[in-house]
Structure 1
């Protein structure tokens, strides 16, 4: 099915309007620009010398995007710190085509093109993120820039069906800085203080940068859940209503740095330490009420008051050696080692009802990892430059879980825990070819193999996969000024299997049912493979603005999807390979100063983007047989305004994701509600060394609704559930000082 046919009428109209807006902006810019040819002639008739001064407000980010052969978007410090966000996830959600899987204002894992977990490759300083790493554990002040690649390259890796997000931490200084930022957040009457200190400098051959971030957050959560169960096709015979109020306090300390020694012309040695320590405490109060037509089906408990504690530690040290050989070849050697530990325990006393219990859940996860790589870059011939490299990576994980009810193990077979290890090898080569001043191309080939072994109650399991990934990127510039250009990419990518999806250690559900099952891995999984096409048309405006329109298409084989099935009398949710799927979409972006379009307009900077998505899982009946967790569209509209003659800057952003239903199988569906998120900020600059920023995240504070349904005629069982999470406005006041 073509993309134009798959768009609904309303979305097609929105798409047309957005495209028209881009076209009108481009036409207006073209009309206001001076025509080529002879210099302008004043009223006197005397020709005058024409002097043209151009510049880009956003530094080199737009220039880097324009000159890259592979489609790349670069977000610099100005955009990262604009709203004064407390977490990096809030920054990412305002970028074109990016969605988060969490509730509004609660962050979550970032996703490109609406595709769920695992389709988007996340890199930290060009390397795979440490295991257990979460985006929200990083503060925006620790980030130098963010690079988004919509299609894979041989160098950055092919585990990027939707694309790659590369997070670059603060780099060695270009100018000396000693910045201190003190913040105070407020959410539903609870205060959250924070501190960030950034320092850089140099001493002889050493250049250094470090960043320290501390945050103590206090949040409240309120959840209402409804479960209905009955015969297939009939009225519900059971209805349970559960309400949970939570008080959560989290303390986090994050450190990252960069030490670089200059060893000579083009040579250096760099150490990059990265560490996170976090812990949290939670108190919850839950009530459960039940209505049932079956007198034997009694409510298991009526009140529960769980308390929990968690602790998380992550440390990684990376080293990089840049070396230049006599023939001009540049070598880059990298090595890193890391470890993360996670401990969590919850004591849950349940009272009332027919089956009260004292439950205790304990989890301990330990993971050690290492990586090593070497990359060579050289000029192959006139207009050709080549890159080739080898990557090695290994990890060992140990997981121990204990689930007790009144001191009795629920799953005694898993008490010995589980051990797993993985090893990855990759080899790649890439050629960048400047064919002529208007045309450039990049071709690459990557081979990657991942092997996983696990030891547990299921015995010793082994999973091995290997993928060849050819990629081709090309860009055509329509004129010598490089203002308009067309990009195209052909690629083969894949979705890697994680240890969590492979290992068999289950997570037990306290109310086991078809809509609230246990969760476990599947050692027999195969990786998903995807063949993709990307085409993008871009126009770059004189002041650093960008207008862009692009389409993409992916053919996915061996799609992995979680399904719920009965195993030994319990409902268990595991991932399975369920067949093939098609994913496609249209992406529009416009970023410009309003004065570039209308000369007399106020000093307003506009940022907007709208993306439409369509997907179909072939072996699942429709309608709504979309790929997991992919909405039909997402949109962003933001603007910044600096009133003339004042030290004040104002800005806002609206992020919109509509609700949608996903058919997981012939008998299972999932539903996600709409997510409108409005953010705003005000910045008062007292002087170049002192500023005060006030921001409000999730200003509209909508309820976040999710649900699922299971209807199995063979078992004569129908079950549905709905969860409503209340959200809150998050205020943040931050004092920014340059010491």
Structure 2
């Protein structure tokens, strides 16, 4: 089996070497025979060195459920300014949208928005909060759980990404980080600080960051309507550009108190505040088509928004006799966001045509509690049972005016929504033999959403049972080899905005730019899953693994565009519906290890690589591209870190690749996106143990990002193809321990 490891490494990292020379781990140096060389025992100072990478790998190896952990080393490596930039390099993870901008959601296993469960400290973040924009300096580690577990919500068909905020580890120094990122000559400074402290039995870690981001965006859209058996009926070119600035502050203090009884009480609030403003300009030229089809020649926009999110996480751990433990969680969350947009359109002579006003005010707040009782039972059993209760409330007011006339019947849309989620679970972690462990769990979860919108009352209720089974077998005689398997049932609940939402209107309503509404009759998607994996561990910090998965999905949700009579007349409207059954499968390969593990006399280089291949098909939609929405066929990452021996310098980088995506989302709609190639490089110079400088360059290729959509109706193909510019970003970060 060990002879297969070099071959697997070649396949995973694309090494040019035809063979690897396997070497045993270096032994300890021989002791000196001279007794004078030995220092007196009383003067020897004991030093314990703990490697973060080894801790992360060991946690992964010992976990019964498939779980990957990425600590501060991964978070700091490239000097990223957002968690989204880090996630795109992790195995099996892709980030939608164009490089450097995101906005398309975080996805595991190629699946679209909503299939990947995103958590903060094991809890759902407040509504409207984007984890992609979270500052890495506020994060302690990222956990990726490929299969659902009973302890967390099983709304994780693709898997779960858990963002763990800064913890109360034994940090002794104040850590200060000063960063400046530069894109197209625009500076985006960032300042973050973490301050530890202790007073008696109370310990704390105060973390804060403030930032300002400036950016320019530019894109071109080609609109074309062509009869299936005839000439082009409409052709337009639209050039869009915008300039924006955002400022914000993130605070995440952590307090921990240890009682005389051994109980611990921990509380960690998390505050995010953002202010944004942007100005946009859109120029449209029409070469083919009736003049009335041109909505405007120029459109000017001015948008301002502000958002504040506050979330508190707490838990009380009570140790009981016989190794039993009770962990009670509690929390609260709230958020408010306000936005105002004014869009003015003009004809070719500069004469004003229409003015659109769009204002939105949203308020979210909620409470949650949960707990887990754990106790050993019999030999090799660790039984746990627990609960989760969550209540959330939303108030939203949306005002949309067209030249002062309301787009809503009552000149504004008010929405109030309440969501209640209850869950109970039981699980058993069973060490069947020293080599074989299993995890058995069962979770029941119910969600009820009620709402009043413009005087209409609607409700939606879903209840799901989710049995899960994970097992790991450590191969006898091969201490560093193990096999994993899992059988699970998970689900995807409809998002609140898909169930009940105030309408979103398009100023240029057409087949490819419809209005958007919700559907209160949506059912949750249900998925049965099978996961298999083989893992081989190299030394203390290396791994080569191969895994495969299958998901069988019922009640698939998709958006459908139809022509409907509205208060504004006959318009194209997009709404979500349940369509049919789907299946997705894939393989995921990963290799991460020091080069010295497989090649004698190699330089001090760490290699990181992963490759994923995905398949899917949706019943009821004609092929050949009847795939799950937004799912890429492949994705790959390759990176290395080289620690020079002659200088206090580490250099490295990574290459991220996702090929073009073409998906037949319905019988009449085809969606595409172009290839994504992102090259990131960095250098780290350590002046001394307290000061280091990190320089990074991200998205060096700066490729244009293409996307498109074609909808066929009434024997006419309506297409919109967008080319958006992307930009290289350069950053410099000074890291200090005070």
Structures share fold, TM-score greater than 0.5: yes
What secondary structure is seen at the aligned counterpart in 1 of 2:580? strand
1:228 aligns with 2:229: no
Q: Which residue of structure 2 lines up, in the alignment, with residue 421 of structure 1?
A: 418
Q: Which moved more, 1:334-343 or 1:231-240?
A: 231-240
The answer as to whether partners of 1:28 and 1:597 remain within 8 angstroms in 2 is no
Give the Cα–Cα distance (whole angstroms) in 1 for the partners of residues 18 and 389 of structure 2: 50
1:276 aligns with 2:276: no
Name which of 495, 500, 503 aligns with 1:498.
Answer: 495
Q: Which residue of structure 1 lines up, in the alignment, with residue 301 of structure 2?
A: 306
The answer as to whether partners of 1:654 and 1:677 remain within 8 angstroms in 2 is yes
The answer as to whether partners of 2:13 and 2:609 remain within 8 angstroms in 1 is no
Give the Cα–Cα distance (whole angstroms) in 1 for the partners of residues 304 and 52 of structure 2: 47
**Cα distance, 1:226 vs structure 2:** 1.2
**Cα distance, 1:480 vs structure 2:** 5.6
Give the Cα–Cα distance (whole angstroms) in 1 for the partners of residues 19 and 141 of structure 2: 31
What secondary structure is seen at the aligned counterpart in 2 of 1:171? coil
TM-score by length of 1: 0.92
Name which of 567, 584, 588 aligns with 2:564.
Answer: 567
Number of residue pairs matched by the alignment: 708
- 1:402-551 equivalent positions in 2, closer than 5 A: 402-413=399-410, 415-457=412-454, 459-479=456-476, 482-551=479-548
1:161 aligns with 2:157: yes
What secondary structure is seen at the aligned counterpart in 1 of 2:596? helix
Q: Which residue of structure 1 lines up, in the alignment, with residue 199 of structure 2?
A: 203
1:63 aligns with 2:64: no
Q: 1:57 to 1:451 in 2, by over 3 A?
A: closer
What secondary structure is seen at the aligned counterpart in 1 of 2:211? strand
**Cα distance, 1:56 vs structure 2:** 5.8
- 1:14-93 equivalent positions in 2, closer than 5 A: 20-21=11-12, 31-33=22-24, 58-93=53-88
Q: 1:630 to 1:91 in 2, by over 3 A?
A: same
The answer as to whether partners of 1:221 and 1:245 remain within 8 angstroms in 2 is yes
Give the Cα–Cα distance (whole angstroms) in 2 for the partners of residues 266 and 378 of structure 1: 17
**Cα distance, 1:54 vs structure 2:** 12
Q: Which residue of structure 2 lines up, in the alignment, with residue 606 of structure 1?
A: 607
CA root-mean-square deviation: 2.4
The answer as to whether partners of 2:9 and 2:544 remain within 8 angstroms in 1 is no
Q: Which residue of structure 1 lines up, in the alignment, with residue 39 of structure 2?
A: none
Q: Which residue of structure 1 lines up, in the alignment, with residue 719 of structure 2?
A: 720
**Cα distance, 1:29 vs structure 2:** 7.8
Q: 1:35 to 1:88 in 2, by over 3 A?
A: closer
1:218 aligns with 2:214: yes
Q: Which moved more, 1:133-142 or 1:544-553?
A: 133-142
Name which of 243, 260, 269 aligns with 2:239.
Answer: 243
**Cα distance, 1:455 vs structure 2:** 0.9
Q: 1:54 to 1:542 in 2, by over 3 A?
A: farther
1:291 aligns with 2:287: yes
- 1:92-131 equivalent positions in 2, closer than 5 A: 92-108=87-103, 109-131=105-127
Give the Cα–Cα distance (whole angstroms) in 2 for the partners of residues 620 and 448 of structure 1: 31
What secondary structure is seen at the aligned counterpart in 2 of 1:356? strand
The answer as to whether partners of 2:400 and 2:411 remain within 8 angstroms in 1 is no
Give the Cα–Cα distance (whole angstroms) in 2 for the partners of residues 728 and 542 of structure 1: 39
The answer as to whether partners of 1:208 and 1:257 remain within 8 angstroms in 2 is yes
Give the Cα–Cα distance (whole angstroms) in 2 for the partners of residues 380 and 22 of structure 1: 45
Give the Cα–Cα distance (whole angstroms) in 1 for the partners of residues 489 and 363 of structure 2: 33
1:333 aligns with 2:328: yes
Q: Which residue of structure 2 lines up, in the alignment, with residue 10 of structure 1?
A: none
What secondary structure is seen at the aligned counterpart in 2 of 1:605? strand
Q: Which residue of structure 1 lines up, in the alignment, with residue 627 of structure 2?
A: 626
TM-score by length of 2: 0.93
Q: 1:679 to 1:585 in 2, by over 3 A?
A: same
What secondary structure is seen at the aligned counterpart in 2 of 1:702? coil
**Cα distance, 1:24 vs structure 2:** 9.8
Instruction: Please list the CA deviations of residues 303-329 of structure 1 after superposition, one character each: whole Å capped at 9, or x if unmatched.
Output: 122111010110112221111223432
Q: 1:360 to 1:293 in 2, by over 3 A?
A: closer
Q: Which residue of structure 1 lines up, in the alignment, with residue 4 of structure 2?
A: none
What secondary structure is seen at the aligned counterpart in 2 of 1:585? strand
Give the Cα–Cα distance (whole angstroms) in 2 for the partners of residues 541 and 519 of structure 1: 51
**Cα distance, 1:458 vs structure 2:** 7.2
Instruction: Please list the CA deviations of residues 615-660 of structure 1 after superposition, one character each: whole Å capped at 9, or x if unmatched.
Output: 0001111011000100000000000111221011101100000001
Give the Cα–Cα distance (whole angstroms) in 2 for the partners of residues 293 and 319 of structure 1: 61
Q: Which residue of structure 1 lines up, in the alignment, with residue 585 of structure 2?
A: 584
Give the Cα–Cα distance (whole angstroms) in 1 for the partners of residues 289 and 577 of structure 2: 36
Structure 2, gaps ≥5 residues long: 1-6, 29-47
**Cα distance, 1:55 vs structure 2:** 8.5
Q: 1:266 to 1:383 in 2, by over 3 A?
A: farther
The answer as to whether partners of 1:504 and 1:523 remain within 8 angstroms in 2 is no
